[in-house]
C-alpha cells in the first residue's frame, strides 16, 4: 500500500458505465455552440502558449434567441475527464464527479441573463487532503470553458469530507481562489489535472 496517498485503493468505475450524451448521426452542417468563441483563460497564471489561441470575438449584444443553453451532461463532459491529483485516473471514473450532482440554476428574474452551474464533489475518502485542490481544478475548468454569463459554484458534497466546510469556504471566495492561482505549486498541480481535458 502506498502510504503517501490518502486513498491508495479507490473504487474505479468502468468507463463504459459513465454517463454519455447520445450522439446523433453526424451532420455536415456546422452548428455554432456556446464554446465556439471561448475567451482566454480567466486565470492568467494557468495560460501557456499551447492553450492560448486567437478565438473569434463574441458580440457583447448577444441575441437571446441565438444563445444556446447548457445542460448537466455538457458540464459533466467538461469535468469528468479531469485527472485526479493522486491517481492517474479521471474524476468521472473515480466517482468524484457525478451527473446527478450537477445542477443548472436558471436566472433569478426574467430580465437577468446570469445563470449558475452548481457542482457537488464527492471525495474518494472523507480524509482526502486534496479535496480543495480537486474543487479548484473543477472550478478553473468550468470558469475557463463556460461563457461569462454562467456563474460557477463548486462545493464538496455534505457529509463526504471531514474538511468540507473549510473547503467550501475557500472555493466560494473569489479572492481566495485568485490567490490560490498565484501559487506556482497549485498552478502546476491544476495544469496537470487539466492536461487530460480536450
Q: What's the CATH number where 80 sits?
A: 3.30.300.130
Q: Is residue 168 part of a domain?
A: yes
Check whether 65 has a pLDDT greater than 50: no
Phi and psi angles of residue 59, each rounded to the nearest 5 degrees, phi first: -75, 140
Q: Is residue 27 part of a domain?
A: no
**Mean pLDDT calculated for residue range 134-161:** 94
Check whether 162 has a pLDDT greater than 80: yes
Q: Is residue 73 part of a domain?
A: yes
Check whether 102 has a pLDDT greater than 80: yes
- What the block records as the C-alpha cell of 147 is 461563457
CA distance 164 to 155: 8
Check whether 27 has a pLDDT greater than 50: no
Check whether 52 has a pLDDT greater than 50: no
Burial 62-85 (b: 16+ CB within 10 A, else e): eeeeeeeebebebbbbbbbbbbbb
The predicted pLDDT at position 142 comes to 96
How does the average pLDDT of the chain come out, rounded? 79
The predicted pLDDT at position 7 comes to 57
Measure Cα distances from 45 to 41, 85, 166, 179 in Å: 9, 19, 24, 11
The predicted pLDDT at position 149 comes to 92
Q: Is residue 195 part of a domain?
A: yes
Check whether 50 has a pLDDT greater than 70: no
Q: Does residue 164 or residue 12 have the better pLDDT?
A: 164
Q: Does residue 22 or residue 71 have the better pLDDT?
A: 71
Q: Rounded to two decimals, what is the model's pTM? A: 0.70
Q: Is residue 182 part of a domain?
A: yes
**Mean pLDDT calculated for residue range 112-116:** 91
Check whether 133 has a pLDDT greater than 80: yes
Check whether 197 has a pLDDT greater than 80: yes
Q: Is residue 15 part of a domain?
A: no
Q: Is residue 123 part of a domain?
A: yes
Domain with 97, as residue range(s), is: 69-198
Q: Is residue 104 part of a domain?
A: yes
Q: Number of folded domains in the chain?
A: 1
Amino acid at each position: 500500500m502506498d502510504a503517501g496517498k490518502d486513498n491508495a485503493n479507490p473504487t474505479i468505475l468502468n468507463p463504459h458505465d459513465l454517463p454519455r450524451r447520445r450522439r446523433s448521426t453526424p451532420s455536415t452542417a456546422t452548428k455554432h455552440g456556446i464554446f465556439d468563441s471561448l475567451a482566454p483563460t480567466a486565470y492568467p497564471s494557468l495560460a501557456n502558449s499551447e492553450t492560448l489561441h486567437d478565438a473569434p470575438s463574441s458580440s457583447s449584444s448577444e441575441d437571446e434567441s441565438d444563445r444556446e443553453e447548457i445542460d448537466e451532461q455538457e458540464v459533466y463532459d467538461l469535468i469528468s475527464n479531469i485527472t485526479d491529483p493522486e491517481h492517474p485516473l479521471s474524476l468521472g471514473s473515480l466517482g468524484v464527479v457525478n451527473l446527478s450532482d450537477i445542477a443548472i440554476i436558471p436566472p433569478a428574474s426574467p430580465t437577468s441573463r446570469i445563470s449558475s452551474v452548481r457542482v457537488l464533489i464527492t471525495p474518494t475518502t472523507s480524509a482526502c487532503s486534496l479535496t480543495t485542490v480537486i474543487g479548484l481544478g473543477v472550478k478553473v475548468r468550468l470558469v475557463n470553458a463556460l461563457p461569462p454569463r454562467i456563474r460557477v459554484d463548486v462545493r464538496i458534497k455534505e457529509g463526504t469530507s471531514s474538511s468540507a466546510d473549510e473547503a467550501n469556504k475557500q472555493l466560494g471566495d473569489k479572492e481566495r481562489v485568485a490567490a490560490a492561482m498565484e501559487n506556482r505549486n497549485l498552478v502546476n498541480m491544476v495544469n496537470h489535472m487539466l492536461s487530460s481535458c480536450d
